[in-house]
């Protein structure tokens, strides 16, 4: 599915001069953000030293419903090793997000970006889109969509980063 960006976010996306993933082997720094979460304000900077699995989702996203149980499992399995899963909701209607979360609970951190600023920084084009961020804040992987057949590969990447 294509994400319905707000016009100002879409224009910021196109004029961005920094590409998240270049053709070189050097990983780019993850764009910082500060968003309202279920337990107050949260920022990416506060998770420095942790491996972060950052997932952008919306209530209308069918694959998101399938990804939440897996993200819950990853958070529980690897939390003690330093993994933090953050789901950034992009609904402009918080009630839609709340309804989704009642049906598909999240056992990980949820943040809200109803104006769509953060996905513009990350160049999100489809839902869900996930990013793996290492302990130093570098982007090391981007994953578009969610398929059960790709879970083992994604878990392997998480496990490898946690082992470093």
Q: Output the DSSP codes for the chain.
A: -B----HHHHHHHHH----SS-SSSPPPBPPP-EEEETTEEEEGGGGTTSEEEEEEE-TT-HHHHHHHHHHHHHHHHHGGGTEEEEEEE--S-HHHHHHHHHHS--SSEEEE-TT-HHHHHHT--BSSEEEEE-TTSBEEEEEES--GGGHHHHHHHHHHHHH-
Q: Is residue 27 in a domain?
A: no
User: pTM here?
Assistant: 0.84
Q: Is residue 74 in a domain?
A: yes
Q: Is residue 11 in a domain?
A: no
Q: Is residue 12 in a domain?
A: no
Q: What's 91's domain CATH number? A: 3.40.30.10
pLDDT in tens, 6-53: 433 443 333 333 333 333 346 799 999 999 999 899 999 999 999 999
Q: Is residue 19 in a domain?
A: no
Count of alpha carbons within 13 Å of 27, Cβ hemisphere only?
Answer: 15
Q: Is residue 102 in a domain?
A: yes
Domain count across the chain? 1
Q: Is residue 31 in a domain?
A: no
Place 162 in a pLDDT band, splitting at 50, 70 and 90. Answer: very high
pLDDT in tens, 99-150: 999 999 999 999 999 999 999 999 999 999 999 999 999 999 999 999 989 9
pLDDT in tens, 85-97: 999 999 999 999 9
Structural domain of residue 142, as residue ranges? 36-163
Q: Is residue 65 in a domain?
A: yes
């Amino acid at each position: 599915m294509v994400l319905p960006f707000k016009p100002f976010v879409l224009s910021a996306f196109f004029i961005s001069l920094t590409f998240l993933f270049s053709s070189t082997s050097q990983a780019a720094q993850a764009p910082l953000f500060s968003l309202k979460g279920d337990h107050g304000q949260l920022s990416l900077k506060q998770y420095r030293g942790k491996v972060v699995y950052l997932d952008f989702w919306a209530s209308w996203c069918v694959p998101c419903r399938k990804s939440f149980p897996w993200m819950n499992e990853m958070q529980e399995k690897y939390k003690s090793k330093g993994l933090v899963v953050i789901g950034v909701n992009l609904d402009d209607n918080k009630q839609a997000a709340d309804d989704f979360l009642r049906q598909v609970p999240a056992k990980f951190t949820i943040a809200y970006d109803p104006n769509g600023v953060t996905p513009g920084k990350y160049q999100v084009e489809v839902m869900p889109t996930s990013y793996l961020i290492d302990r130093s804040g570098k982007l090391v992987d981007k994953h578009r969509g969610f398929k059960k057949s790709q879970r083992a590969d994604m878990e392997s990447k998480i496990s490898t980063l946690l082992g470093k």
